[in-house]
Structure 1
């Protein structure tokens, strides 16, 4: 087997295992697939050196071996020239994936027992961001425990508890969330607004246009669809057509910013045609679902996947549109949900990226469908714990 060399951080078993375990179910028409979050501040590119991690691939681009700085290269001769892709990251030389062996490609064993959480209070996690306008984004969804819509007062109370994070990502337009988040998030943030159902592009884009009311300075990006290829819901042709339809409608209303689609890094690597669909590449990536990555190595893992996506997309700008770690749930291999590990993972992510990263999620989402397929962790991704209007059932 011929081996090619890319100077990018490790592709792992996630490419096979993650889709089976990775779905933040969304309720309410579009609520059977993930939480949604609004707006984003402009994120500047800051380039730094990523961990010295190498993935060896064959002539077809399939990963065959991963090596780190302290490891020798595999015995196969690398027949292709090395190339490197740099994404906006911080110096992550100290971050290493602490898995003693390559993660298994089969689904890891896990307990089907209900997840337990020792405290319903917000975890003691302290954000490194001190004010709005920093380079990180955060995801947010406006639903109560029973799946009904939060009020403007509820959303205002939520944002009073979110320090920093210059961008807010939402996933849809129901519940008047675009207007409510714009009102609650303050003047120093921008919105990354989402259209969830690509079959409703025209009507959802109009809702965004109405909420903008002619002021597009508060919008960073508009996304169309979330993980539709990963879930097998849509074809690439359908997603591409929807993005172009949205772009045309929004430009007619004066919007000149990016329009993209978002999918998992696994789906993008498997379908590089997605690279050309939007103005940049939006990739969701969660180290927890790999099963072979410890919490404090989450940053190195996600940097590696961001670089792999950028390489597959010819160096195109990549934004990690979701990444986090659950505070409760069942173990997934060496990945263990806990508040301490959540804090470690978020710190690792922030030490690895200086921008172009959305932390998933602001608050726990008890309106979602918790299940063993996502290790009974679906409720517990909120880095600020429970929202006052969305508490444990």
Structure 2
């Protein structure tokens, strides 16, 4: 019988050029930061079993971790070292399994079962905490990107009865009429007009859908014009301002007198404070994960600080609403931010405890119709299963 002994691991942080990443079709290209590649070097010696006098084989393997967005302080590197040590031990255990260890099968089965239970518990808890926020984003698309049926959309919305606002990005897939058909008396739609080049026709579509509902425009909390247009570089502040003004006028002609806003990233609004004057309230998206330096348990205090910062930057008495926030459950680590269901639970719990009445959660389900994105997280922000 042979066994493997872990002798050495080390980390070699290397600063490399920053890479931009896209945060799905309804998201921004986040501000770039320097990246670190952490290289895990593991040396494994395969030795004969007890009673044998000589080692038989020397093997050395090298494994590279995912890239990170910023050079980390020594305390963080130490923490990441512990994580890598755990990963190395897992790899050794996997090697033992493949070599026919009599214990490996039962260990693997037990670990898988425990992981599944923990994952299910985290999912259940995270939805309970998310319901303490002001609202949630919803996309009416199947895993393949086609439209969900009316029955499925309505069933989905009935699951979201605890949220005051349901945010959609465009009047696609007859989602507006289907959402309004089943949402409760306590709920309102946060409607969206996503495409600059189809604002006129999308306003017509939105108006027809709203007017066909029993609530009419009273069932609409706000209408957003675009999503992160300035941050993405697609349009200038003046173009966004003109689009919002035009949409506000067209919506007024249709009988709507509620809020009209432009939603952009918090960073984009801070850097372009003219956007503060465009909207009827300050509507921004802010994800602690994409900062790269925020642990999940600090997500609430992070957003509380960001809200205070945007108040200060805009210098106005307008209300601030975070229109997207959350935490991914799968993908690559970004700085100190690690995607997992457990971390999603921790982050959302922290967020609602600090600023629950000022945020909309992102998002209802995993969006498998999207590309994975630079860090492989874009599909995995879903709160419900």
- Considering the TM-score relative to the shorter chain, is it more than 0.5? yes
Structure-2 change in CA distance of 1:290 and 1:229 (3 Å): same
Q: Distance in 1 between matches of 2:161 and 2:342?
A: 20
Corresponding residue to 2:66 among 108, 111, 124: 111
Q: Distance in 2 between matches of 1:269 and 1:169?
A: 23
Q: Distance in 2 between matches of 1:377 and 1:165?
A: 25
1:184 match:
182
Structure-2 change in CA distance of 1:105 and 1:369 (3 Å): closer
Q: Distance in 1 between matches of 2:347 and 2:18?
A: 18
For the pair 1:380 / 2:335, whether they are aligned, the reply is: no
- What are the superposed Cα offsets for residues 275-331 of structure 1, whole Å, 9 maximum, x if unpaired? 111111111000001111100111111111111111111133211000000111111
1:4 match:
none
- The answer to which structure, 1 or 2, has the higher relative contact order (CA under 8 A, 6+ apart) is 1
- Contact 1:125–1:383 under 8 Å retained in 2: no
Q: Distance in 2 between matches of 1:380 and 1:126?
A: 14
1:311 match:
312
Higher helix share: 2
- Contact 2:167–2:191 under 8 Å retained in 1: yes
- Contact 1:136–1:165 under 8 Å retained in 2: yes
1:161 match:
159
Structure-2 change in CA distance of 1:136 and 1:108 (3 Å): farther
Provide structure 2 residue ranges, at least 5 long, that are not aligned to the other structure. Answer: 1-16, 38-64, 68-111
- Contact 2:161–2:183 under 8 Å retained in 1: no
- What are the superposed Cα offsets for residues 91-144 of structure 1, whole Å, 9 maximum, x if unpaired? xxxxxxxxxxxxx941354627xxxx976968232445698xx76110000000
Q: Distance in 2 between matches of 1:337 and 1:177?
A: 30
2:260 match:
259
Give TM-score, length-normalised by structure 2. Answer: 0.69
Query: How many angstroms does 1:377 deviate by?
Result: 0.9
Query: How many angstroms does 1:196 deviate by?
Result: 0.1
2:58 match:
none
Other structure's SS at 2:180 match: helix
Other structure's SS at 1:320 match: strand
Higher strand share: 2
Query: How many angstroms does 1:173 deviate by?
Result: 1.4
- Contact 2:130–2:352 under 8 Å retained in 1: no
Query: How many angstroms does 1:34 deviate by?
Result: 4.3
Provide structure 1 residue ranges, at least 5 long, that are not aligned to the other structure. Answer: 1-16, 27-32, 36-103, 386-393
Structure-2 change in CA distance of 1:19 and 1:382 (3 Å): farther
Give TM-score, length-normalised by structure 1. Answer: 0.68
Structure-2 change in CA distance of 1:24 and 1:130 (3 Å): closer
Query: How many angstroms does 1:205 deviate by?
Result: 1.1
CA RMSD of aligned residues (A): 2.6
Query: How many angstroms does 1:157 deviate by?
Result: 2.3
